[in-house]
Structure 1
């Protein structure tokens, strides 16, 4: 009898947690193709520079139509301003039916981010007009055309895998770019840009999944699938027993209330010199956050599936670097747990011991992200002695209220790092803003019962949260804390993201920073 009861319980648990509850097709990133031959399709996208200036391809079409294209641009008063578009009937003799004119702005002045936004905006306008993206014709240098294609790929992203009606689907399989030098553009794009775009795509997909699909174990399995076949990658995963053996009481305590146990995923990429200190990226990975016993307000709880965005972006950044064979050593750590109010959940007032030996009084079980980071970031610091340690976390509502959707909050003990990250944020389109972190914030989290507490100080919430995380980082370690609570997801489209949901914030920023400050230094040292 006992056997049959246990079997029935097992079946119920498996069914209740099975990903088959939501069936969906497997999605792959949009493919970008390059050619130097004018296409034969009925519709095209045609890039026009500011002032109506025609490039080589547009000039060829103008000659073919005996000046008809130039006349059309003039009569429609299309000026070519960046991100403007105009649908026109193709002039007679062009061989096309409809042309979507795309304003390229000042082609000599546009930054990489501006090219990306032009490309993403064009892709979205094309989808709205044609339900697909026709060939995109531009006469640009390879480095500019590659950035335009990058933006088009990111801008065409749409999470629609659970839609069942074909009319609702917006996913694009491929986009063709007709460019002046297809070979050079293709080489640049495939070697340096597409690996980053693919990592962003995978990160957005994982972050957008509902919590019955992505939980600690399935997060690990999904990323293992994406890393399969990549060189210089080593993956380790800590389960509950490993956490107990390593005295990781902080992350273990967060996950103990859930039927889905916690995990810590460590992805090592060895692209630099053997023995060279790595960059360590640690991400908060709360795959769903009810608040635990300190239950959240239910109406907006649905979006707590995005509480693992930091972990997704940390691992996604490693995937991007490995994909483009970056000459650096990098470690990504995802501290994963589901925060549930189960019978075994930790309570306000409980005391846990972290891997560092510091004890923590739980004031609020809804301040759980800093707990999983405590063990993840300490492990990363003492194990790898990193050249740079960065953590990403949807940590506080305070950061979101202060900076909205425009900036992630940045905290550090090292002002030079703050300045560098601020500059890189502008260059990559993922902007950060520095908020204060001082001794008063560390004093504010001290506790009468344990060494520190996870919530409840009078200090500003975002700074207190940063101080808590910083308590588990050695003072000599170059460390940056990114609170991405306000920017990890967005309910509106942007030029480089058509789908509401995950923004994959941090990948473009960190990829750019590592390329500029580590790979460049590595290359300069190699040339000496």
Structure 2
């Protein structure tokens, strides 16, 4: 298999001078006429220039890219579109490094958005025996302004996290099993000194009573793993944030088998776990003072004589029992074990889980917005604000108390798939395992995958939620930040 990991990204840096002989990129914004940034006097054909966000045109050796009205979303789209155009040109013997001339009044937020778009917009994952095509390697943002270098540094960290999340989710499942995912987490953590990764095997899971993980993974010849990433932080007075990500490395649906159509996409069913791993690496790389733990229960949901069945009753970590009604609703079973483990052992101040959990949420919100459930208004607001800051959209959904009783089972403590609105009842099931800790559940079944290019997203795994989790952790880096 030839798919080098991590996927190389375009390097973006800031400078205050142009390089001699290096082709330039100019920016244009919407207006009548189109407004051109520095170097605009060299544009030869104004008729071919548009200020629309993401519009690109070539002017001799130079390029022009539109940044629209100049909002962060427009700048992010501009960076992504520019890199795709330059990649395509590089394949025809074009250049591999460019100087981007930015306006004198460009803001740090605009530069950060452009950097993020440029870094991940040209992402490409392909398993091939052929040599990869020539690609653009670097952009140099030429601008003078306070805070721009720091904005680019952080944006590059967010881009790397997004790319790592995509890499993990895109890797085919004949390569990726729970053991591979655990090893990949260990390898990824090496770039972040101080980040510890502990991997527990199926024997440990049995000894500790992780009935959900063992049931889901019982049908596969490739046993489950439990991955725990620990970033200790540097200030004991700050909150302890625990992130839990679903790590189903392939999902057949088990005995409640999925239709063949679309099953190939189930290699990305561990996108929540990928987001958590990527977020912990990004948090550690920035040396955020807050303490953060990431938990990824990893299993392969397969069909065999040892697979768990509808009607089974399983015992989770901590003793709660669940009546299984659909083996294709496996994600909530592994998350339940991890949430209970977190509450009992880690004493979190804040608990957040992220998962490609329900088709219902994809139907409800589409493929560009994640579902947000929360027991705490402050936590919900932080997540929504964090997402808006890094270009990820969340919509808060209700935890309807009138449906809570439907989670109860006649033959066990709870039942796996209560009737009613699927996204909400799945969240209510998970809530049973969160104690009284402020908790949020992020359902990314829609935005975790894309079937076409838009903005900085490419087809395949999107890396959605990794950036939000990093930004969320940063909101807790000051004392008295809960409540």
The TM-score normalised by the length of structure 2 is: 0.91
Change in CA separation of 1:171 and 1:357 when aligned onto 2, cut-off 3 Å: farther
Contact 2:115-2:155 within 8 A present in 1 as well: no
* 2:51 maps to which of 69, 74, 80: 80
**Contact 1:254–1:371 (CA<8 Å) still a contact in 2?**
yes
Q: Which residues of 2 match residues 279-318 of structure 1 at below 5 A?
A: 279-318=241-280
User: Would the aligned equivalents of 1:149 and 1:177 in 2 still touch at CA under 8 Å?
Assistant: no
How many residue pairs match? The answer is 473
CA distance, structure 2, for counterparts of residue 255 and residue 325 of structure 1: 35
Partners of 1:173 and 1:259 in 2: CA distance: 42
SS in 1 for 2:303: coil
Correspondence for 2:358: 396
1:45 aligned to 2:10? no
2:139 is equivalent to residue 180 of structure 1: no
Which of the residues 490, 498, 506 maps onto 2:465?
506
> Are 2:2 and 1:29 aligned?
no
User: For the Cα contact (< 8 Å) 1:284–1:334, is it kept in 2?
Assistant: yes
Write the deviation string for residues 172-229 of structure 1: whole angstroms up to 9, x where unpaired.
4621214124996445423x22222212211111110000111111101112111115
Q: Secondary structure at the match of 1:201?
A: helix
SS at match of 2:159: helix
1:481 aligns with 2:441: yes
2:341 alignment counterpart: 379
Max Rg structure:
1
**Secondary structure, aligned partner of 1:433:** strand
Structure 1 residues 502 and 105: alpha-carbon distance in aligned structure 2, compared to 1, 3 A threshold:
same
2: CA distance, partners of 1:524 / 1:359:
35
Partner of 1:126: 86
Counterparts of 2:4 and 2:471, CA distance in 1: 32
Q: Taking structure 1 as reference, are residues 435 and 101 closer, same or farther at Cα in structure 2, changes over 3 Å only?
A: same
Question: What is the Cα deviation at residue 524 of structure 1?
Answer: 9.3
Compute the displacement of 1:329 (Å): 0.8
1:27 shift after superposition: 4.3
Q: Quote the RMSD (CA, aligned, Å).
A: 2.4
Aligned residue runs from structure 1 range 86-235, under 5 A: 86-88=57-59, 90=60, 98-107=61-70, 110-111=71-72, 113-131=73-91, 134-140=97-103, 141=106, 143=108, 144-160=110-126, 162-166=127-131, 169=132, 172=135, 174-181=137-144, 185-190=148-153, 192-235=154-197
1:35, 1:176 within 8 Å by CA — same for their partners in 2? no
Conserved in 2, the CA contact under 8 Å of 1:327 and 1:522? no
Question: Partner residue of 1:492?
Answer: 452
- CA distance, structure 2, for counterparts of residue 418 and residue 43 of structure 1: 45
2:302 is equivalent to residue 340 of structure 1: yes
173 and 43 in structure 1: CA distance in 2 versus 1, 3 angstrom threshold = closer
Aligned to 1:459: 420
The Cα shift of 1:307 comes to: 0.7
1:114 alignment partner, SS class: helix
Asked if 1:470 corresponds to 2:431, the answer is yes
Match of 2:236 among 274, 283, 286: 274
Give the conservation status (yes or no) of the 8 Å contact 1:117–1:151.
Answer: yes
What residue number does 1:93 align with?
Answer: none
The answer for unaligned runs of 5 or more in structure 2 is none
Distance, in Å, in 2 between the alignment partners of 1:412 and 1:524 is 17
Choose the corresponding residue for 1:363, options 291, 310, 325: 325
8 Å contact kept, 2:14–2:143: no
Q: Report if aligned partners of 2:56, 2:81 keep a CA contact under 8 Å in 1.
A: no
Deviation, structure 1 residue 55: 3.6
Q: Output the TM-score relative to the length of structure 1.
A: 0.84
Asked whether the 8 Å contact 1:269–1:318 carries over to 2, the reply is: yes
Per-residue deviation, 1:346: 1.0
**1:41 Cα deviation from its structure 2 partner:** 4.9
SS where residue 186 of structure 2 aligns?
A: helix
Deviation for aligned residue 1:300: 1.5
Deviation at 1:135, TM superposition (A): 0.5
- Please state how far the C-alpha of 1:253 moved relative to its aligned partner: 0.9
Deviations 1:426-470 (A, max 9, x none): 332211112221223321121111111112x22211111111111
Higher helix content, 1 or 2: 1
